Amino acid sequence: MAQALWANDRCFVISVEVAGVGTICRVVWRGHVQEMSELDPLARDAFMDVVFGVEAVLRGLARPAKMNVASLGNLVPHLHWHVIPRYRDDAYFPDAIWAPARREGVEQPLSRPILSAALETGLGKQTKPLL
Amino acid sequence: MAQALWANDRCFVISVEVAGVGTICRVVWRGHVQEMSELDPLARDAFMDVVFGVEAVLRGLARPAKMNVASLGNLVPHLHWHVIPRYRDDAYFPDAIWAPARREGVEQPLSRPILSAALETGLGKQTKPLL
């Protein structure tokens, strides 16, 4: 597991480098829950506040053509959201990043310290860091 | 545009038949907005209430192995969510439905009248039907 960039008592945010795209984020729920509709509405809204807060941070830093947000988890049935900045010259645009690549793709990496600082500005101070 | 199965003044729900999977739903925001983080938080929560309400309805009707929920919109940059029941014998499992098919896939169609009735039970009476 990559070191978290931001965390509170319910969820944490990591970054992942996707070939042909660049840096994306994942927001992972700490509790072992499979489906969003199993969460109580307050917990669900708090989780989505973080997901859409990460979206806003990535929009500000990466200036993507579009944001993609997805909860799949077919392999790992534990709630997590992919928050993905998309670019017209990434390997998959305009398809989903799970489709076959259309081109080599220009990767847009984001600096981890800058991303971490922007998350703390956008989401507030993390309240329960992972280790 | 398919006829809506359920609608309120902000969004509407349609069903779509996906080859190798079966019936999925889309929840479409009426206003022309590109990103979730452009919505004000109350509107956003109201939208997600419908999305996760549809998820709960589909879980009840379809008994999927996992639900997938995604907002992509690279081709149509107008907010809409895919709410997708996934089955171990669908064409793509455990990959995303945008990946190459792994097998022919057993399709699980849902009856439109049953889906429509279940949405009204799960989400409440629709308040502003589409014509």
How far off is chain A from B103, nearest CA to CA, in Å?
16
CB contact under 8 A, B95 and A98: yes
Cα separation, A93 vs A16, whole angstroms: 18
Q: Whose structure tokens read 């990434």?
A: A90
Which chain A residues are within 8 Å of B69, Cβ to Cβ? 36, 70-71
Which chain A residues are within 8 Å of B44, Cβ to Cβ? 48, 52
Selected residue with higher pLDDT from A77 and B56:
B56
Picking from A106, A29, A41, the residue whose alpha carbon sits closest to that of residue A71 is A29
Checking DSSP bridges between strand A80-86 and strand B11-18, what pairing results, if any?
unpaired
Cα separation, A79 vs A33, whole angstroms: 6
Kindly write down the DSSP assignment for every residue of B39-96, as one continuous string. S-HHHHHHHHHHHHHHHHHHHHHH--SEEEEEE--SSS-S-EEEEEEE-TTSSSTTS-
Interchain CB contact of A73 with B (< 8 Å): yes
Selected residue with higher pLDDT from B131 and A74:
A74
Confidence of residue A129 (pLDDT cuts 50, 70, 90): confident
Residues 6+ apart with CB under 8 A from A96: A68, A70, B70, B72, B74, B96, B98
Residue spans of the domains in chain B: they are 3-123
Q: What is the pLDDT along chain B (131 residues), one digit of tens a residue?
A: 568 999 999 999 999 999 999 999 999 999 999 999 999 999 999 999 999 999 999 999 999 999 999 999 999 889 999 999 999 999 999 999 999 999 999 999 999 999 999 999 999 998 877 75
Interchain CB contact of A108 with B (< 8 Å): no
ipTM: 0.95
Model pLDDT for residues A15-45, shown as the tens digit of each residue: 999 999 999 999 999 999 999 999 999 999 9
CB contact under 8 A, A93 and B74: yes
Write down the pTM of the prediction: 0.96
Given the candidates 3.90.1150.10, 2.60.40.10, 3.40.50.300, 3.30.428.10, the CATH classification of the domain at B3-123 is 3.30.428.10
Checking DSSP bridges between strand B6-7 and strand B22-29, what pairing results, if any?
unpaired
Which chain B residues are within 8 Å of A65, Cβ to Cβ? 74
